[in-house]
Structure 1
Amino acid sequence: MAAALAASLLNFVLGSAGGDAANRVTFEGLSSRFTDDGALGIAIRKVEAASLRIASGPLVVEVGQLALHQVALLVRVEGGRPRIERVEAASAELSGVKVDGPLPDAAARAAVQADPCAWTLAPLAAAEGTLRAEIVDAHLLFDANVKVPIRHGGVDFNEASVEHVGPDSRMGVSRMGVYVDAPNGRSYLYQFPSTPVAGVEYERRGALLGPWAVTQRGKLQLQPFLEGLLRQGRGHGTAGLTDPARQLFDRTSVSGHVQLGDGHLTLPGVEAEMGGSSEGRNTVRLHSKAVGRELTVEIAGLSVRNVVARVGALKGRCREVAGDVTLRVFVEGTQLRLAVTVPALKLSALHLG
């Protein structure tokens, strides 16, 4: 009786979970028993699913293939309806995952801003890489090739280069923001809301006047700088960008790579430990034909441990996640959207509930 009830409950839950009619799910090795307090415990040796499609408002999630191993569920029936109280699985493999939807609106961003602990970006402290940009017919810099090295988690603007016809320009950071000293004068790309700003070592000036007075162009330490902006709610959208910079970015292509370090990562609703940098894992590659309109971020060899995620009252955890992930942020009409593609992903020791 318990096994038949378990099968009926699983069919009911799957049918009412908001999935598409094309969803296909199969079970192997199903067994069940009632607990002392009347809940139904269900054990399944293997769960396989194909062509899953789940929509929640404007957010759409598609999964090509899903396999769960050694699954355990605890189900309670309340008011004639089943409620899954806990789900555990020894491991899971996913492939063909696609997520598409709009980025959070201003109200959601304000809620994140209210939580000062929502951002910890320790893997940036040891980041290594290089960012390159090509600016076509730019009014600020002429046609230009920009190179920004990232060393030991920071940007030293003395090492950044802006090459173009005629005398080259220089980038730097002052108390007002990040700037470019071009032959036609100084222009600001990003203006700080206030000073001092965490993670910034401002330019130093000598006795001369004009751009020749700058003896040190300044430095940015990525972890404290970006954490500070995100906690102020300025890491979303284009807050702080000047109008000339917005126009410039529509004509700017970007490429580059950043090898992230190891350490604790906290994002809104998610905590994890990144590791494996010595093996080349968690390498981020960026590319865009027009960074003002779209940006693609590829994470090769994603490797995170001790993942804890919260969505409302729901909490999940996972011992390890490994795979490759591609994120694309783009403008569609007046809306900023996010598309996530995951060719293959492996998870171990899942717990939900």
Structure 2
Amino acid sequence: MATALPASIADVVQRLSSGPLALEVGELALHGMALQVLEEAGKPRGTALTVARAELSGLKLGGPLDLSLAAGTWSLAPLAGAEGAIRAEIVDAHLGFDADVTVPIRQGAIDFKDATVEHVGPDSRMGASRMGIYVDAPNGRSYLYQFASAPVAGVEYESRGAMLGPWVTDRGRLQLQPFVEWLLRQPASGQLLGVPEQARMLFDRTKVSGEVRLADGKLAAPGVQADLAGRAEGRNAVRLHSEAVGRGLTLEIASLSVKNAVFGSGGIETRCDEITGALTLRLFVEGGKVRFAFELATVRMTGLQLRLQR
């Protein structure tokens, strides 16, 4: 026999589904549930819900991506020990030939001397200068991302030979955690202005794939904080792919493992001792705006607590 959702759960769904966001929930099973109710003006109101164990499937949340929220507090410790590689295939490149790009990630860093840009003729090289992240191709240097000012957190710039000669002796490095945290703290307008028009055209012809194995550690974003755990068991590996990265990108975590999670949004505080499951996040451009589609195919939670604020 079907039963109605508790008032607190219904309130959560209503709040998340309001405005530009759309929320869908497939199946939800709650075990060991306790609801705290207060009486206000002669009417009962659910204020807190605790659940010993919950299983959820088919959760989907989507809508416009509000880049203004990004300029907040970020802590991305799992990037500090990340391992993996990102590969890109540039088709009909502006350079006049196709190119295959491989960017290794080791101990949370990209060392541009290890990045390869292979194509017909002499290969190109990637690097980081005080002006930005670049590709040195046979027809000259072009920038994938330009820095508004230097220094930039997490960037070790290229170095040249004696007497400021033209030859680059070290292509530089990116420490992922400080660099990505710095990037996310920039105003949305600044993030977009950093990508030159030529690079945007290039990204529309760039196919991307790869895997990044995140380290254990604290993850904090506006309204969210949690501890990633389970690296030794192969958890929290991010697979990314795109047919044209300028138009969209998909990230998948087939084995998510999170502990001590805290979420706060719309007057709702949610805490959870442990979360495991499978996650997919799609970012795409529609109508000239960036949108997101977040899906939890299956998820298991223990020690779940929800508190509704006035």
For the criterion TM > 0.5, the same-fold answer is yes
1:92 aligns with 2:75: no
Q: Which runs of 5+ in 1 are unaligned?
A: 1-6, 21-52
Q: Deviations over 1:87-122 (max 9, x none)?
A: 100010001121121111x5x43xx52x4xx10000
Match of 1:78 among 24, 40, 43: 40
Matches within 5 A, 1:262-277: 262-277=216-231
Q: TM-score, length-normalised on structure 1?
A: 0.81
- Alignment partners' CA distance in 2, 1:15 and 1:286: 33
Q: Is the 8 A contact 1:230 1:236 kept in 2?
A: no
Confirm whether residue 300 of structure 1 aligns to residue 244 of structure 2: no
Q: Which amino acid aligns with 1:97?
A: L
Corresponding residue number in structure 2 for 1:174: 129
Q: Distance in 1 between matches of 2:238 and 2:253?
A: 5
Residue 19 of structure 2: aligned partner: 57
Matched residue, 2:108: 153
Contact in 2 for aligned 1:141/1:169 (Cα 8 Å): no
Q: Which TM-score applies when normalising by structure 2?
A: 0.91
In 2: Cα distance, 1:210 partner to 1:140 partner: 26
| 2: CA distance, partners of 1:236 / 1:226 | 14
Task: Give 1:343 deviation, angstroms.
Answer: 1.4
State yes or no: 1:351 paired with 2:305.
Answer: yes
CA distance in 1, matches of 2:266, 2:62: 20
Which of 120, 136, 139 is the aligned partner of 1:165? 120
Higher relative contact order (CA 8 A, sep 6+): 2
- Cα distance change of structure 1 residues 189 and 18 upon mapping to structure 2, 3 Å threshold: closer
Q: State the Cα deviation string for residues 162-199 of structure 1 (Å, max 9, x = none).
A: 01111110000001100000011111110112111111
Distance (whole Å) between structure 1 residues aligned to residue 16 and residue 119 of structure 2: 49
CA deviations over 1:137-174 (Å, ceiling 9, x no partner): 11147310000000000000000000111111000000
Say yes or no: does 1:290 pair with 2:244: yes
Task: Report the RMSD for the aligned CA atoms in angstroms.
Answer: 2.4
CA distance in structure 2 between the aligned counterparts of 1:292 and 1:17, rounded to whole angstroms: 37
- Aligned partner of 2:147 in structure 1 is 192
Residue of structure 1 equivalent to 2:78 = 123
Q: Give the number of equivalent residue pairs.
A: 305
In 2, are the aligned partners of 1:141 and 1:164 still within 8 Å (CA)?
no
> 1:279 deviation in Å?
0.8
Return the alpha-carbon distance in structure 2 between the equivalents of residues 228 and 350 of structure 1.
32
Shift of the 289–12 alpha-carbon distance from structure 1 to 2, 3 Å rule, reads closer
How far apart, CA to CA, are the structure 1 residues paired with 2:20 and 2:53?
29
Select 2:214's aligned residue among 257, 260, 264.
260
* Bigger CA radius of gyration: 1
How many Å separate the matches in 2 of 1:193 and 1:321? 39
Corresponding position of 1:139: 94
Structure 1 counterpart of 2:204, from 238, 250, 266? 250
Aligned-residue identity in percent: 58
> Equivalent residue for 1:39?
none
Q: Distance in 2 between matches of 1:247 and 1:210?
A: 32
Residues 311-334 of structure 1 deviation map (CA, whole Å, 9 limit, x = unaligned): 143212100000010111111112
Show structure 2 runs of 5+ residues with no match: none
Residues 286/208 of structure 1: CA separation in 2 closer, same or farther (3 Å cut): farther
Change (3 A) 1:303 1:141: farther
Distance 2:213 2:189 in 1: 21
SS of aligned partner of 1:223: helix
Corresponding residue for residue 7 of structure 2: 13
CA contact (8 A) 2:260 2:271 kept: yes
